[in-house]
Structure 1
Amino acid sequence: MAKDILVTESLSGSMMNAGAKLIERLDAKQSEIKSAFWLYFSEDKTWKLIIASPLVDALGPREFYKKVVDANSAASEEEEVISLNDIGVTNTANQIVQLLRFAIGTGDRISGIRFSRNTINGNFIEDTYIYRSKL
């Protein structure tokens, strides 16, 4: 069985890799991922993987989290998976999703763009690692 990854204050290579693999598995399940990124919450000193999809509105967050659980279950034994405690799902109208889309567009592919200490339309983004940003 796959092992849970330890999410730390610093964004590690294993966190970045586990996020990319999760997005790949969700893409294979037609999850309509429009935006996916690690976001740093400085007040808590933690990272959270944010996944935005129109299916969150259509199915509801609980059903979309089930898709994430299924994608984690499909991981191979060698792969690390991200705990649901470290994942947030949202719709595409989310403010940070919209801000990142305005600043960075990746298309359908999975990218690896670090976006740190920047302001978009007056909103400060401490740190983020973007896999996908499109709408």
Structure 2
Amino acid sequence: MAKDILVTERLTDSMMKAGAELVARLDKNNADVKSAFWFFLSEEQVWKFIVASPQVDTLGPREYYKKINEANLLAEEAENVISLNDISVSNTKNQIVQILKIAIGTDDGISGIRFSRNTINGMFIEDTYIYRSNS
């Protein structure tokens, strides 16, 4: 894992590919991913990869980050690894997770849905790229 993808102000093709591959690896490791998406933090001008799972409550965030690290180690290409610094884990009760589920519900597969500049239940979503939203 010599090289992580570069997370920039603009969502790149390599970021989108790395996100899809991470979700697939987490699925193989029984990580129970209910929601996974890139979320643009407009105040900081950065993208964060958000993963929501009920296991964050049962195992705790630290152990869940270990699952993500294990999934990263299984990446076939180092440039498809998302740094843990660019990932946030959450339980399924998180407000953003719940709002995206209302707006765009998906199945258990891996989607690729861009959702930009929308307001849902009073919350403005600048930009997000959703792989799964079914918490």
Instruction: Please give the residue correspondences for 1:1-135 in structure 2 after superposition, counting only pairs within 5 Å.
Output: 1=1, 3-77=3-77, 79-135=79-135
Q: CA deviation at 1:76?
A: 1.0
Segment drifting more, 87-96 vs 76-85: 76-85
Q: CA deviation at 1:78?
A: 5.6
Q: CA deviation at 1:80?
A: 1.8
8 A Cα contact 1:2 1:75, kept in partner: no
- Percent identical residues: 68
Q: CA deviation at 1:77?
A: 3.4
Cα deviations across residues 42-74 of structure 1 (Å, max 9, x unaligned)? 111000000000000000000000000000001
Q: Matches of 1:107 and 1:41 in 2, distance apart?
A: 25
Classify 1:2/1:21 alpha carbon distance in 2 versus 1 (closer, same or farther; 3 Å). farther
8 A Cα contact 2:4 2:78, kept in partner: no
Stretches of 4+ aligned residues off by more than 2 angstroms: none
Q: Matches of 1:55 and 1:2 in 2, distance apart?
A: 28
8 A Cα contact 1:37 1:128, kept in partner: yes
Q: CA deviation at 1:3?
A: 2.5
- Aligned pairs, number: 135
Q: Matches of 2:134 and 2:79 in 1, distance apart?
A: 27
TM norm structure 2: 0.97
8 A Cα contact 2:65 2:89, kept in partner: yes
TM norm structure 1: 0.97
8 A Cα contact 2:5 2:79, kept in partner: no
